[in-house]
A and B are shown apart, each in its own frame.
Chain A
Amino acid sequence: MTVRIGGGQGFYGDGHEPVEALLADGLDYLVCEALAELTLAILQKDRMRDETLGYAKDLPLYVQQALPYIADGRTRFITNAGGINPVSAGRAVRETLAAAGATGIKVATVVGDDVRPLGHQLELPDDTLFANAYLGARPIVEALDQGAHVVVTGRVADASLFLAPLVHEFRWSWDDWDRLAAGVTTGHLLECSGQVTGGNFSGPWWENPDALDIAFPIGECEEDGSFVLTKPAGTGGMVTFDTVREQLLYEVHDPAAYLNPDATCDFTSLTLDDLGGDRVRISGVQGGPPPETYKGLRCSPAGWSGEARLGYPWPDAEAKARAAIHFLKAKAEERGLDVLEWHEELFGLNGYGGPTVDLAEGDATGWEPPEVIARLAWRTADADTARAVGGSAGVLGLSGPPAISGVGRARDTRPSQLLAVDAFPVARDLVDAQVRVEITEV
């Protein structure tokens, strides 16, 4: 038996079109991974405005796309789009199904990753906005074992979303470390959608076939843990040794010990065989027990930011841009505005490369940038101060360095709130005691 899993989403805001091709190609499971660290902070801002929000708002669209396949029993759907409010997300899924007239569909909601109720025991700061533990695959397996067609979770480790259906189908033991690690590897390769099928490829990316329609990936998984990574027939992008290895090591830190709540994986032990025809076989993954604690992620307010963009043309673009930055900083000081942190970037010069760009080399050869767009950002304790600092920028129009130039029509200088997220360990038994799987049939 081969289990086909599709990676239908790599972040909140990913494309929906490639999901159609995945479903049409035939999937046993569609898995949508919606949560980056940054996403939780975005969802927290939503929840601060409205207590019923805090989940990925495009979840109903995925449900609508997958519904024909879910309804005929072909495909089951797993997602962590519940974000920091899986209960509301589960409700949204049921409402979407009901509105479409679907019946007999079991929707599971996994709750318990929110560890704010344990704030005292975990010594969370008083200003904690959210605090979640990265759950493993077990509650999803429990939901699938109970016949769930749709599983909605909050913060579950990305790869564990994909491991769960493999444990459910193949009945892998929870201490079969090599197989569990293989399942985590499958998930790790599928969790970033197009980033394994030609997206963000640092090799000859311009040779991606049909680059306007990069496919999302499919894992064809075997009982022994080996799998073939591929993509639907007739789609764009490519699956090669190079595209797969770039994703294999993405954000994993130690490649010999990739930590996941269900297993620790040694990616240096595996073999990638490029079979040609957009098929790469992954085998030989070795694994070990997971860390003793869950990883937690907590978030606290970290002040407010404002920014100004100031474009200057040649000649002397760099000097003009630096003079404009000095103007804004000096005005803030003159007005007694308390700025906690400044950040300067000179686009067209070294905005991205920073100290790795040798400006002296340009000086020596007489090279001048054709333009410089200065970006000055600042951090303050409150929104009003952040807004006030930017108030001096208007003066630069007529009373600053010559020829300040437009950088687009956007005039939105509203300050935005900064959030600090920190990882911390959480005792497993504390979390496991509050994890629940709730199944409702629509």
Chain B
Amino acid sequence: MATIELRDLCGVRCGDKGDISDLTLFADDQAAYEALRSVLTADVVKAHLGSIVQGEVVRYEAENVWALKFVCQDALGGGAPRSLRADNLGKSLGSALLRLRVAVTDAVAASASRRRAPVPR
């Protein structure tokens, strides 16, 4: 087994509805999807996001596109037009989730292929 950051295993897109943050992780292949599905329970995600998410987290699966969705209640400081947060839409919450480290098999870790963006300095 190996421990890697989610950022190496999947992409993410976040949206908002009221005070709900809707986070979806996208794995790159079936093996990565299954690895994510086995380790990323709703409880694990809720514990990682800590004080950001005040309410319940529910997980949904979309195997046809290798995606796991986490719908987080009471997660945006009251909703975009009510929130005091700089990121009132919660677009950065996916990045916060990608920071989570998970245990996966060596094979999954070896093929984790998410690349780093080049920095044009």
Contacts and interface: CB of A to CB of B under 8 A. Distances in A.
A253 B17 contact: yes
B64 A270 contact: yes
Interface stretch (B36-44, B73-81, B103-111): B73-81
Nearest to A257: B60
Interface string A238-249: 000010011111
Given A200-B13, A246-B26, A356-B49, A351 B99 contact: no
Contacts of A201: 11
29 contacts: A37-B79, A38-B88, A38-B89, A202-B94, A203-B11, A204-B117, A242-B26, A245-B66, A251-B16, A252-B69, A254-B60, A255-B62, A255-B67, A256-B62, A267-B62, A267-B64, A302-B82, A343-B77, A345-B85, A347-B86, A351-B86, A353-B92, A355-B52, A418-B78, A418-B82, A419-B82, A420-B81, A421-B80, A422-B18
A317 interface: no
Contacts of B94: 202
Contacts, number: 146
B6 to A, nearest CB: 11
B67 A242 contact: no
Interface string A264-299: 000111111000000000000000000000000001
A269 B64 contact: yes
A226 interface: no
Interface in A374-423: 375, 377-379, 418-423
Nearest to A38: B80
Interface of B: 11-13, 15-18, 20, 22, 24, 26, 48-52, 60-67, 69, 71, 77-82, 84-89, 92, 94-97, 99-100, 114-115, 117-118
A247 to B, nearest CB: 8
Interface residues on A, range: 35 or more
If over half of B's interface residues share one DSSP class (helix, strand or loop), that class is named, otherwise mixed; here it is: mixed
Given A245-B67, A418-B82, A421-B79, A355 B24 contact: no
Contacts of A270: 64
A435 to B, nearest CB: 24
A219 B27 CA distance: 25
Contacts of B86: 345, 347, 351, 375, 377
Interface string A326-370: 000000000000000111010100011111110000000000000
B82 A248 contact: no
Contacts of B85: 343, 345, 377
Nearest to A420: B82
Given A253-B22, A269-B64, 16 more contacts: A37-B18, A200-B13, A246-B11, A250-B13, A255-B60, A270-B64, A302-B78, A343-B84, A343-B85, A345-B86, A354-B96, A355-B50, A356-B96, A375-B86, A377-B84, A422-B18
